[in-house]
Chain A
Amino acid sequence: MMDTINDTSGDTELIHAYIRGDGRAFEILYHRYKRQLYGYLNNLQRGSSIDPDDVFEETWLKVIDKLPKYRDEGRFSAWLFRLGHNIFIDKIRKNGGVMMQSMDREDMPDLPEPEHRQPSSEMANIELGREIERAVQSLPAEQKEVFLLRQQELSFKEIAEIQACPVNTVLSRMHYAVKNLRIFLADSRSHMK
């Protein structure tokens, strides 16, 4: 008997339905994650010559191709962002590799999970949001990617798998990303005064 699937079905349930031949399952998965992936790729590619539409389309075509053999190891979203990241990196490499210059120092200490500010009502205003967006775009590529993937609620472990590096490296990238954002925002505020 075929299970009925709908918009509230879990990712794993949808993947199994797709493998059994239910085309609707893919459509639900696609509509669930398309905006997130597109947003991530759009923010990731800024400053490069890569077309995010190409990366986005290629990522989903790869999902279509690989989904029948998908093994349920971890979250679908982490797998999806990993595919997108890999395709993006391939394109960067083919275009000369200018985007992903590492800004990490070799002697960077292993850091514990950094302290972060709680979201507050004053931070929610639109102008500050725009400032943060600009600040995020000014971050070094790896730090920016960690920050963007944290926006997608991926765990540090999942981000470490995507970036193919130890979790501690991801933690330090996040720490420096937040530190750099604070500096950028402080500078921008002082210019405004």
Chain B
Amino acid sequence: MKKYLKLESLRSADVPPELDLRILAASRMRQTALRRRRRLRLAAGGIAAAAAFLVAAGIGVLPGSAAPASVREDRAATAALAAMSDWTNVEQAGYNLASEISGSSSFFELADSRTNFEV
């Protein structure tokens, strides 16, 4: 690069102090705003993560009262059906016994009628 004559008065000048103050104050304000925005962004991220965790825990992990109404209704219906199923087993046993008894008596009735016919 070739050398040129450098004249200080053409190169630089003193800046009034009040301009210095205004510009540096503006820079500080901007930095504060940037820092606040950065902190808000971090906080918002944390809140969103916590909310997502709570929702996930409520739906999938925690049992009972934390479950939504529709899930609670489903569980009640299943329990009722299970109870009905138990009742039916007992009844089935009683029914089977009754059939067995009535079947035996029918056999004897049939044998009697056959004897009467042969006579």
Contacts and interface: CB of A to CB of B under 8 A. Distances in A.
Contacts of B114: none
B12 to A, nearest CB: 4
Interface residues of A, number: 36
B4 A151 contact: yes
A57 to B, nearest CB: 6
By DSSP majority rule, is chain B's interface helix, strand, loop, or mixed? helix
Interface stretch (A1-9, A60-68, A102-110, A161-169): A60-68
B34 A136 contact: no
B41 interface: no
Contact of A30 (B4, B5, B9, B27): B27
Given A27-B24, A56-B19, A65-B30, A116 B2 contact: yes
B79 interface: no
Contacts of B34: 21, 68
Contacts of A189: none
Nearest to A113: B2
A21 B31 contact: yes
A38 B15 CA distance: 7
A51 to B, nearest CB: 11
Given A53-B19, A119-B3, A133 B28 contact: no
A39 interface: yes
Interface of A: 21, 23, 26-27, 30, 34-36, 38-39, 42-43, 53, 56-57, 60-61, 64-65, 68, 113, 116-119, 123, 129, 132-133, 136, 147-148, 150-152, 155
B118 interface: no
A133 B9 contact: yes
B27 A64 contact: yes
B12 A136 contact: no
Interface string B13-34: 1111001101110111011001
Nearest to B11: A151
Contact of B15 (A21, A34, A113, A150): A34
A141 to B, nearest CB: 15
Contacts of A148: 10
Contact of A43 (B2, B10, B22, B27): B10
Contacts of A152: 11
Interface in B31-60: 31, 34-35, 38
12 contacts: A23-B31, A26-B27, A35-B15, A38-B14, A39-B9, A57-B22, A61-B23, A64-B30, A113-B2, A118-B3, A119-B6, A133-B7
